[in-house]
């Protein structure tokens, strides 16, 4: 459960970072579009903004959406000994249930961690995305496709 809380905090921190960078790239693109001197850079920043928004959506759906969690503790109703069962049998059933809950939550955390790591790696590629898009748009512009 503590790992789940840590992953949630890390996801929130990453999303906050994305919000800041998205806002900065959007406002810079808007300013450049209004200036009309650096249209190539404005279009590039727009593509970067779209890329970052895509990462934020990926983070939201992959890590932050509410998903079911199995309670880590025994439920009192499961500890009642029904007729025909011994306390050892009930203990065995509950140990199996506990193991199932632990594995379920561990798999959930593993999936969340994988998605969070992928988003973070994709964020690291954003300068490369910027340069590739800038190069592509500059080549199109130079080839006369801007008219």
Convert the pLDDT of each residue in 119-141 to its tens digit. 999 999 999 999 999 999 988 88
Each residue's pLDDT tens digit, 56-113: 999 999 888 877 766 666 666 666 666 777 778 777 888 888 888 888 888 888 898 9
Average pLDDT, the chain: 86
- Note if the pTM is more than 0.75: yes
- Asked whether residue 49 carries a pLDDT value surpassing 70, the answer given is yes
- Quote the pLDDT of residue 128: 95
- Counting other chains too, the contacts that 49-54 makes at CB distance below 8 Å and 24 or more residues apart are 49/22, 49/25, 51/126, 51/129, 52/18, 52/21, 52/22, 52/25, 52/123, 52/126, 53/22
Q: Give the chain's length.
A: 147
- Asked whether residue 146 carries a pLDDT value surpassing 60, the answer given is no
Cα–Cα distance measured from residue 63 to residue 52, given in angstroms and rounded to the nearest whole number: 16
Q: Helix 39-59 vs helix 126-142: angle between axes, to the nearest 10 degrees? A: 150
Q: DSSP label at 62?
A: I
């Amino acid at each position: 459960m503590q790992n789940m809380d840590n992953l949630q905090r890390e996801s929130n921190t990453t999303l906050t970072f994305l919000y800041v960078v998205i806002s900065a790239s959007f406002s810079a693109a808007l300013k450049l579009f209004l200036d009309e001197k650096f249209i190539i850079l404005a279009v590039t920043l727009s593509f970067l903004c779209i890329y970052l928004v895509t990462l934020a959506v990926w983070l939201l759906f992959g890590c932050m959406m509410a998903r079911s969690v199995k309670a880590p503790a025994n439920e009192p109703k499961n500890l009642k000994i029904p007729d025909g069962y011994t306390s050892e049998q009930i203990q065995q059933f509950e140990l199996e249930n506990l193991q199932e809950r632990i594995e379920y939550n561990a798999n959930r955390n593993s999936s969340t961690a994988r998605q969070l790591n992928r988003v973070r790696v994709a964020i690291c590629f954003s300068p490369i995305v910027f340069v590739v898009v800038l190069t592509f748009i500059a080549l199109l512009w130079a080839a006369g496709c801007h008219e």
